[in-house]
Structure 1
């Protein structure tokens, strides 16, 4: 996959196996997983499997989560992007486009998630011509819920997952259609 995108402060490119160390550092942090099923990575092999899985999504769906890089330093700050969910059901839905992100804790609170969200919504609607973009966040994750709301997504409903946690379902229709 050859797509490379950029915004004022960030570069977005497909995940590579060389991202594994930085991604493992992010995913092994319990704070990063506070609102993500509270299952931090324990071994780098888990991260390598995730990267390989995302790479298979690029092949199947021509999109997936992308490494997000700080232009100024070249640092991997996390991943952001759109994926096509067809391998599980979320809130009764399958076969849908989902926007999501995960950033390393040291990059929180700097506006990077908001910058990435605006770019990916624009890319999804204008380049991919997605009709409806979805997202879901843990109901107690105030920062992520705020970012989705201020980015123009609409809160649709709160739902309970199979583990008894409440999540929020967000949606945005393509404004160009």
Structure 2
């Protein structure tokens, strides 16, 4: 973090330094005596990054991750930011998977399946692809407009093979 602070002292708009400072502050927040204050300090780095680049996927992702790390339900602007980040970074399969998990909690089952389909179809995705296929199978048949929790999904147990058949 010291290097990031030195870089920011020279150029307060150094985006790379803000990203590194955010990473260091969030890592330290988990171990801090006063986690809430430590996360608030980390949020300042995220806010500075978002002011410089309001539509950059990193800032949008960091915003929602901060809420999740604190065990909070992310507010709607943070949730919208995650969806926007996924649209800006369609190559990021992990981000698409996060969106596919977020949208059903808002009752957007069809949109979640749509976000998960490219991940499921990726021939190089292996674990993410299998996870997306399982998530799609879990969501199919769930009513649109009714919030869906993934708690039962994660409690289901065995992972499925890529063809959807239970393993071992």
- TM-score scaled to structure 2, two decimals? 0.29
More helix by share: 2
Q: Which structure would you say has the larger Rg?
A: 2
Q: Which of 1 and 2 has higher RCO (CA within 8 Å, sep 6+)?
A: 1
